[in-house]
Structure 1
Amino acid sequence: MGGARGFGKRPGEKTGKYPAPVRQALAAAARELAAGRWLEAGDHYHRILESLQPDCPEALAGLGGVLLQLEKYAAAAHLLERAVALQPGDGETHRQLGTALIKLSRPQEAATHFEQAIALSPTSAPAHNGLALALQALGNSEQAAVHFREAMALNPDWIEPPYHLGWILLNQGQLEAAGRCYETVLAARPDLAGAHTCLGIVRQNQGEAESALVHYRRALELAPDAATHTCLLLSLQYRDDLAPEQWCAALADFAHFCRTIEREEAPPNVPDPDRRLRIGYLGPDFRTHSCAWFIEPLLAAHDRQAFEIFCYADVLVPDAVTARLQKLVLHWRPTAGEPDEAVARQIRSDRIDILVDLAGHTSGNRLTLFARKVAPLQVSWLGFPGSTGLSAIDYRLSDRWLSPPETPEFFAEALWNLERPVHCYRPHPQAPVAGALPALTLGRITFGSFNKITKIAPATVELWAAVLTALPTSRLMLKTLQAGEPAARQRLEAAFIRHGIEPGRIFWLETLPDPLDHLACYQQIDIALDTYPYNGATTTLEALWMGVPVISLVGERTASRYGLSLLSALGLQSLAAATPEEFVQAALGLATDLEKLCKLRNALRGRMQASVLCDEANFAQAVESAFRQMWRLWCKRRS
């Protein structure tokens, strides 16, 4: 974030108040800095502080800046704090102290110093950029974007502000603007792997799967990292043309990347098959996120006598859901921003018996930590529909509908199937009523999907178009983050046109921040159409709770079997089609029998309430039984 001395007075200027040896040393340090010789400059500063002038603010700030460049952030912050106290009017020192504090995960303090730096030097691009980073860490993305833009205006050639602004815009759903940011960065630095990864995410969210893969692969060529491997593996799950060997090769590449991660020594856990077990859940989604809706019932219903529960929350910006989940467990460990080494030490200190990965290959995962094998048993569950590719993870928790014994899908982990769905749904307590069937008022069927646009693969478009063609008076309602992005909408509408469906039959709804407003949108839909090959899970459960039946196409991969798992729990296997033709017939069977559709709409919520999908105690017992059996097998192997 800028050089060691980005603006303001350089060491050696206005130093006439010091004795000649101090002035000479400061001037020598300045020359070394100008030549990029940080260590040599640091030697001069160190000599001043040790032997010549211990309270010299220029030397304190200079050595602090050098330590900042050497990534010794705590030591840098200590020196820079002393310099600021002695010379509070030096904006550059405030800026560098803010930078050190950001690196030490102290964004609130950092913001104060960046604000002071801006007050002293309003045209400092590094200070605006630093304040933006602090605000971003504090969850204030709107104000962060303001200061990133200010930094860009002050220094149009600097690529760091657009790089970070792009991420904010991406998370706000402003995909075209985010894409322009990363294009700007790559125009200046085509070899910057991180920008390729981020532009790949943008393209993925715009529905440009091929372009996304190009950028992910380029990033991996330039600088392989775990995050880009994750992006590529997740993107492959959306593809309807994914060959098994292609998937296995991508997993093997990730496993090969992790080969250099040294495994921990075997934890000294006592191999007693019947003792109270320590279960650790690790993930980034203990917050307002769809995964939290599935974590909460399990945390609430765990048997505290037989299991001691720990949560390792990689939550960057905690919210009300975070606070609610924290109250459900005795041991809550905030781990966001901590390196894998520190989190591994904490897990070993907590003597975790079974560590559960909640993310898989989704954003914010710590699969590199799991590669260390930090607990005797490691289990993957929930966030991702495929294998992690890691042999260090012992089991994948699934169910017999998602992953039947005869599945051809490759897993590096051993499958452990529950005899009930591996998802349990806790509906919103204030969820609106299902409402009357819209077709009774409109005189035509409204099909709908609230899945994100990345799941609407070419096979999905073809499938839905076949339904719309078979029922010419029907329409399709899509609620997605990309509804407000003209380019994304036009791209998808063009795909429907190729199958004979005019854009006028497609209605778009933008995402709504309030969950109750979101659920109320289901009142506008008669029948939900699932995506393929990556089925919905949360959206399917929401639709069913709101009285909207879901038609799903079943494939061989786990990703395309969520509909089967959830519908089977309600006795609605007939809505889980084995072929595209059956999918169309299932949709028509409901759409052409409004009396049947009305009865189903009115009965679905009660049916769900009485099913295992909402039986939290049953779910917790099934998971706990699986954990206990896994543990007993481990104990048996140890003995």
Structure 2
Amino acid sequence: MLINQLAEAEDRFRKGQYVETLQILNRLSSLSDDPRSINLLGETLIQLGMYAEAASAFELHVDKEGAWQAAFLKKAALLYFMIGEKDKAKLYAFRVLTSEPKSPEAAFVLVNLLKSPQDKALVEGLTYNLIESDVPDHLELAYARLGAEVSNERLLPLIRKLAPLKPGDAWLQRLLLAFAREYADYEVLDAIEAELAAGTRAPIRELPLEALFGHDSESDPAVRVVPELSTVFDPEKRQARRTAPHSWGPKLRIGYISSDFMPDHVVMRQLADVLRRHDKDKYSVTLFCNSPWKGGDRKRFFAELGHHVDISDLPDKKAGKEVLRRDIDILVDLGGHTSKSRAALLNLGLAPIQVSWLGYPGPALGLDCDYVISDRTVTPETSASWYDEKFCWMPESYMPNDPTVRKLPADVSRADHGLPADAFVFASFNAPKKITPRVIALWARILQAVPGSFLWMTCRAETAEKNIAKRFATLGIDPGRIIFAESIRSYDEHVGRLRAADLGLDPFPYNGHATTADCLWAGLPVLSIKGQSFAARVSQSQLHAIGLEDLVAADEEAYFQRAVALASDAKAVKAYRDRLDQNRLRAPLFDSERYCRHLESAYRMMADRVRAGLPLEHLAVPMLPARDGDFGLALKR
């Protein structure tokens, strides 16, 4: 009969009749030690808003061993946290952890309550426990405490769970897309694409750089969204800046703004030797450095490049004053819309000529910029309508490369890198976020058409590796044919191993940029495709500058046909490799001294127009005569 009454109490609880439930339970004193009855009593008290009484009910039975003990401990901890009895809440939460170290319930209580600095490491570890939960409060606390740094692989499941719970949170939806790209989460990417096509999802407002990874055309509205900047551009002030009185000296004063002035940064592997080679008799160079790098021989590093001004700890207005103090003639931003950039300084109107170059492959949206340094491949005349600034076309490629930081490549053993000796090996060492569903589908077609071939890739995150292998399997490719390269810290070793592959496959719509340059230096031909935006034309620009523009396919089908044809034409592949070896120290792509002379010519042309009071126009830098022989000797200083 008592069991029947307990069943009746449970039925009343399910119907929301909590007072009646409590009345029945009060008559069941003989079942006061029954875990099922205790749990129902506590849950009923919770529904009646009697949290302290519910906490006491669970607390009275937390020492009973058995399957219910952990549940009672968790509920007692949470309830005591809710009513502000912190000591009891912590006591029972810690007891939960003794048997369930990964408990998100205990983590929720302790993350909220532990405030001491010595608890920092413990709290961080507990916060990750919250990600294993599906409870919205747990997920939101983890999000609030851990942030959403895309480089943190452990946060991917958190964003996957939280984003669907907040469809109206535009920032969270952006993060979902960014994380999905970063870790090749094709399930999420497919779902987003399907929802957008069906009209069941609002368009995702992406940051400018992120949008370039998923959109083909520079005319696409998604890549033209002006981001929020720390200093806002006022178009009316542009002409005032350009016509304001300015003291021109005997030397052109060039200022470069960057967060990447560090010896091992990819930007410096492109730019450093160009900076060193500025003619000191004609140009004064100042580096406005936002880099966090404080170690190493900073004094010597910057002494080779120019005058160093640290603005890393300065807000925009104070940093702007540092620029104004130097009376800069041409201010060049090297970051654009990239992470930790200080491009917004341009909106303070700090120099009569302001330029965007190198860091961001697209228009200077929302920035007071006069010119973008480019070339006719990445920004043909047909692109002009999508840019507010004018083009300054370099005669060969807009991208410089520092040959002095690269060792001349030597042949390497495939066995040392886990590659089959006789098979045809395609390669892509680009980041997973560039390997879009379209790209991986095309590469799967190529592998299907070339039996016995392999694709050699690299991923920094195990999750991305698994997702890529899984996608290839779904597309009918044995995951064993996808070989992931081991992580190598040494840049020289990384570039040296690229020579072990036969043909590089370039992604789209965001090409390999520095990655393509590394491949070409190593002697690895790269097959690319004509693009419809700056970011999608960078490999074509580099292939042009090293004499291999015939490796640029007209479209995806031509890309497929060319890859398949080359896989069965060892003679043609060898011819490309030989051309790379011959052109490495002859063609313009790695000729930093030649590039510097072209860049200085560009600066003179900009300055001459301003000093003459002429309006902005596109500039085409004249090409120097071709070198007679290689530039190897010019590298020796």
Same fold (TM over 0.5): yes
Deviations 1:193-246 (A, max 9, x none): 8777655543331235588999xxxxxxxxxxxxx98x5211210114557241
The residue correspondences of 1:180-579 to structure 2 (distance < 5 A) are: 180=157, 201-207=178-184, 232-240=207-215, 244-247=219-222, 249-251=224-226, 258=232, 266=241, 275-287=250-262, 288-320=264-296, 325-390=301-366, 392-407=368-383, 410-427=386-403, 428-430=405-407, 432-435=409-412, 442-482=421-461, 484-485=462-463, 488-497=464-473, 499-579=475-555
Is residue 179 of structure 1 aligned with residue 168 of structure 2?
no
Contact 2:372 2:390 in 1 (8 A): yes
**Which range moved further: 426-435 or 368-377?**
426-435
**CA spacing shift, 1:434–1:314, aligned 2, 3 Å:** farther
**Secondary structure of 1:396's partner?**
strand
- Tell me how far apart the structure 1 counterparts of residues 141 and 279 of structure 2 sit (CA, whole Å): 49
Structure 2 residue identity aligned to 1:454: K
Deviation digits for residues 359-392 of structure 1, max 9, x if unmatched?
1111011232222222111111111111121361
- Do the aligned partners of 1:537 and 1:562 also contact (CA within 8 Å) in 2? yes
CA distance 1:256–1:514, change in 2 (3 Å): closer
Give the drift of 1:276.
1.1
Matched residue SS, 1:348: helix
- Preserved contact between residue 259 and residue 291 of structure 2 (Cα < 8 Å): yes
Instruction: State whether structure 2 residue 103 is matched by structure 1 residue 128.
Output: no
Deviation, structure 1 residue 314: 1.0
Aligned partners of 2:173 and 2:352: how far apart in 1?
37
Q: Which residue of 2 aligns with 1:67?
A: none
Give the conservation status (yes or no) of the 8 Å contact 1:497–1:503: yes
Distance 2:519 2:594 in 1: 22
Q: Does the 8 Å contact 2:542/2:589 carry over to 1?
A: yes
**1:146 Cα shift?**
7.0
Aligned partners of 2:318 and 2:343: how far apart in 1? 15
Aligned residues of 1:240 and 1:457 also touching (Cα < 8 A): no
Counterpart contact for 2:458–2:484, Cα < 8 Å: yes
**Aligned counterparts, 1:132-171, within 5 A:** 148-149=124-125, 163=144, 165-166=146-147, 170-171=150-151
**Structure 1 stretch 378-387 or stretch 425-434: which is displaced more?**
425-434
Equivalents in 2 of 1:167, 1:310: separation in Å? 35
SS in 1 for 2:340: coil
Equivalent residues of 1:236, 1:242 under 8 A apart: no
Q: CA deviation at 1:437?
A: 7.8
| Distance across 1 between alignment mates of 2:585 and 2:516 | 15
One-letter amino acid of the counterpart of residue 233, structure 1: P
- Measure how far apart 1:337 and its partner are: 3.0
Amino acid in the other structure paired with 1:202? F
Unaligned 5+ residue runs, structure 2? 1-111, 131-136, 195-203, 616-637
Matched residues in 1 for 2:509 and 2:591: separation? 28
**What TM-score, normalized by structure 1, do the two folds share?**
0.66
* 1:316/1:337 contact within 8 Å kept: no
Q: Deviations over 1:533-586 (max 9, x none)?
A: 111111111111112110001112111111211111222111011122322233
Letter in 2 for 1:314: N
Deviation at 1:589, TM superposition (A): 3.8
CA contact (8 A) 1:240 1:532 kept: no
Cα distance between partner residues in 2 of 1:255 and 1:429: 36
Contact map agreement 2:547 2:583 (CA 8 A) in 1: no
SS in 2 for 1:466: helix
8 Å Cα contact 2:375/2:392 also seen in 1: yes
CA distance in 2 between partners of 1:408 and 1:233 (Å): 18
User: TM-score scaled to structure 2, two decimals?
Assistant: 0.66
Cα distance in 2 for partners of 1:580, 1:598 equals: 24
Larger Rg: 2
Q: What is the rounded CA distance, in whole Å, between the counterparts of 1:368 and 1:212 in structure 2?
A: 32
**Per the alignment, do residues 326 and 548 of structure 1 end up closer, same or farther by CA in structure 2, a change over 3 Å counting?**
same
5 Å-filtered alignment, 1:578-589, equals: 578-589=554-565
Q: In 1, are the aligned partners of 2:414 and 2:421 still within 8 Å (CA)? A: no
Q: 536-545 or 586-595, which moves further after superposition?
A: 586-595
> Structure 1 or 2: larger helix share?
1
CA distance in 2, matches of 1:292, 1:306: 23
With over 3 angstroms needed to count, the CA separation of the structure-2 counterparts of 1:187 and 1:528, relative to structure 1, is closer
Percent same amino acid among aligned pairs?
Answer: 26
Instruction: Give the SS at the match of 1:278.
Output: strand
Answer whether contact 1:545 1:608 (CA < 8 A) is retained.
Answer: yes
Show CA shifts across 1:81-115 (max 9, x none): xxxxxxxxxxxxxxxxxxxxxxxxxxxxxxxxxxx
**Kept after mapping to 1: 8 A contact 2:231/2:316:** no
- Deviation of 1:601 after TM superposition, in Å, equals 3.0
Cα offset for 1:504?
2.6
1:470-513 Cα distance to aligned partner (Å, 9 max, x none): 2122111111223x11xx33433444345433323212225432
Select the structure with the greater relative contact order (CA < 8 A; seq sep ≥ 6): 2
Match of 2:382, SS state, is coil
> Matched residue of 2:524: which SS?
coil
Check whether the contact 1:354–1:376 (CA below 8 A) recurs between aligned residues. yes
Q: Which residue type is aligned with residue 477 of structure 1?
A: W
Query: Does structure 2 conserve the Cα–Cα contact (< 8 Å) formed by 1:261 and 1:372?
Result: no
Using a 3 Å threshold, how does the CA distance of structure 1 residues 615 and 576 change in structure 2: closer, same or farther?
Answer: same
Q: Could you say what secondary structure the match of 2:214 adopts? A: coil
Paired residue total:
488
